[in-house]
Amino acid sequence: MHRTSATLTDGRSIHYYDERPGRPRVDVPRRPAPAAAPVSSLRRDPTTGEWVLMAPHRRRRSALGPHCPLCTDSPRDVTEVPGGPYDVAVFDNRFPALGGAAATGAADGTGLLASAPAPGRCEVISYASDHGTTLARLPLSRVRTVIHAWADRTEELNRLDGVEQVVCFENSGAQVGASLEHPHGQIYAYPWIPDRFRLMHETARREHEAGEGCVFCRVLQTEEDVERRVVARSAHWTAFVPFAARWPYEVHLYARRHVPDLAALEEEERADLADLYRSVLRRFETVLDRPLPFMAVWVQAPARQDRELAHLRAQVFSDHWGSGAVKRMAAGELGAGAFVSETDPERVAEALRRAPVTT
């Protein structure tokens, strides 16, 4: 793997991950900076203690249009990825939800209405210079390159002061919020541990202190023993529909070795992951008569605390049942947080097992 880094004209960083050496000097695009510097902040909900990320400037972010900012043949004042065709590219988000002009300074208030700066980093990862593909349709060598980039960025971002949690994720399809059709994902380096991840870490800590060991290892072993919800399995990874699945289609992909994050994977584990992860994404494309829009998120260890309790895993899910049928969050779910699942995990697992992975 060959990494080449450069600085764009507005000061943002870009990193190329190529499978072969020889990338020429990067000619950065002459794209003007945003008219106003991004301003993000954190506000704490006094009724729950949860932090809410305030980023109103995100409404101006790039969206579907005549020219794609991730394509190298777009006009020079549009493309974010100069330098000709690339394998994988990672660059600082032009409209970041974290960082920006309000990312320094002290918290404002410790009473009922508390706010704080929102440091951290938001990066975009483009999986290929080819606009008309998906991660599921890339060759295995390219999927391995994507995994290498995820791992490299995780390791580097974890070192930054103030970063508590690095999350690699993807929204695939406009129906689930993707603003660009080009195959890509995002990497967020949060200055706090988001609440759902915090709950997972707290559960892991309680189980460990009770002498039960790793709760995720136990879940994995149980699912492998039961087998009914297992979708696919390899030497180093197991993909299964979770026992308490929330979404119409949902697969969790666990490392079979207790490992904290992507950066800690050995080369053999990364190669095996590329094969199994791609097969899971292909099943989401083929299980119905049209590809399912989906969301995917990697759950990794926090940057600094309880890393030994974490167990690397991915969650891939879709809120679509099929053509025109969508799981809509009701008031009780959004307002009370009481999720109502309308899925049958065992039948979903069977359908995904039967879905073709080679087409």
Residues 19 and 154 in one domain: yes
Q: Does residue 83 sit within a domain? A: yes
What local confidence, expressed as pLDDT, does residue 107 receive?
Answer: 57
pLDDT of 109 strictly over 90:
no
- CA-to-CA dists, residue 142 to 19, 20, 138, 281, 318, angstroms: 8, 12, 6, 14, 24
Q: Does residue 63 sit within a domain? A: yes
Residues 239 and 120 in one domain: no
- How does residue 177 score in pLDDT terms, banded at 50, 70 and 90? confident
**pLDDT higher for 65 or 83?**
83
Q: How far apart are CA 172 and CA 178, in angstroms?
A: 6
Q: Which residue, 167, 193, 219, sits at the end of a domain? A: 193
What local confidence, expressed as pLDDT, does residue 94 receive?
Answer: 87
Residues 201 and 287 in one domain: yes
**Counts for the chain of helices (H) and strands (E), in that order:** 6, 16
79 phi and psi angles, rounded to 5 deg: -65, 140
Residues 331 and 346 in one domain: yes
Q: 142: domain CATH number? A: 3.30.428.10
Residues 173 and 266 in one domain: no
Structure-block tokens of residue 127: 């999986």
Spatial neighbors of 275 by CB under 8 A, at least 6 apart, are 140, 143, 234
pTM of this structure: 0.93
Residues 124 and 234 in one domain: no
pLDDT of 106 strictly over 70:
no
Q: Which residue, 148, 177, 193, sits at the end of a domain? A: 193
Residues 188 and 249 in one domain: no
Q: Does residue 117 sit within a domain? A: yes
Q: How far apart are CA 357 and CA 19, in angstroms?
A: 25
Q: Please write the tens of the pLDDT for every residue from 213-267.
A: 999 999 999 999 999 999 999 999 999 999 999 999 999 999 999 999 999 999 9
pLDDT of 62 strictly over 70:
no
Residues 92 and 240 in one domain: no
Q: Please write the tens of the pLDDT for every residue from 276-320.
A: 999 999 999 999 999 999 999 999 999 998 999 999 999 999 999
Q: Establish whether 184 is a catalytic residue.
A: yes
Residues 232 and 298 in one domain: yes
What local confidence, expressed as pLDDT, does residue 26 receive?
Answer: 65
Residues 92 and 43 in one domain: yes
DSSP conformation letters of 246-293: -SSEEEEEEESS--SSGGG--HHHHHHHHHHHHHHHHHHHHSSSSPPP
Mapped onto helix, strand or coil, the DSSP state of residue 195 is: helix
124 phi and psi angles, rounded to 5 deg: -105, 135
Task: Average the pLDDT over 55-61 and give the result.
Answer: 77
Mapped onto helix, strand or coil, the DSSP state of residue 147 is: helix
Spatial neighbors of 26 by CB under 8 A, at least 6 apart, are 4, 6, 14, 16, 82, 83
What local confidence, expressed as pLDDT, does residue 179 receive?
Answer: 81
Contact in structure between 307 and 273 (CB atoms under 8 Å): no
Residues 177 and 206 in one domain: no
Instruction: Give the strand order in the sheet containing 41-44.
Output: 51-54, 41-44, 115-117
Q: Does residue 359 sit within a domain? A: no
Q: Please write the tens of the pLDDT for every residue from 132-152.
A: 999 999 999 999 999 999 999
Secondary structure element (H or E) that encloses residue 325, with its range: strand 325-326
Cα 325 off chain centre by: 25
Q: Which residues pair with 167 in a beta bridge?
A: 188
pLDDT of 22 strictly over 90:
no
The count of C-alpha atoms lying within 13 angstroms of the C-alpha of 304, restricted to the half-sphere facing its C-beta, is 12
Task: Average the pLDDT over 71-100 and give the result.
Answer: 88
Q: Does residue 263 sit within a domain? A: yes
166: DSSP letter: E
Secondary structure element (H or E) that encloses residue 348, with its range: helix 345-354
Q: State the residue range of the domain holding 210.
A: 196-354
Contact in structure between 120 and 190 (CB atoms under 8 Å): yes
Q: How far apart are CA 87 and CA 118, in angstroms?
A: 32
What local confidence, expressed as pLDDT, does residue 75 receive?
Answer: 87
Q: How many residues does the chain have?
A: 359
Contact in structure between 67 and 16 (CB atoms under 8 Å): no
Other CB atoms within a 10 A radius of the CB of residue 51 amount to 20
Counted domains in the chain: 2
Which of 10, 1, 6, 3 lies closest to 25, judged by CA? Answer: 6
- Residue of 57, 148, 184, 236 marked active site: 184
What local confidence, expressed as pLDDT, does residue 37 receive?
Answer: 61
Look over the chain and give the mean of its residue pLDDT values, rounded to a whole number. Answer: 90
Task: Average the pLDDT over 30-36 and give the result.
Answer: 56
Q: Which residue, 193, 224, 251, sits at the end of a domain? A: 193
Residues 51 and 126 in one domain: yes
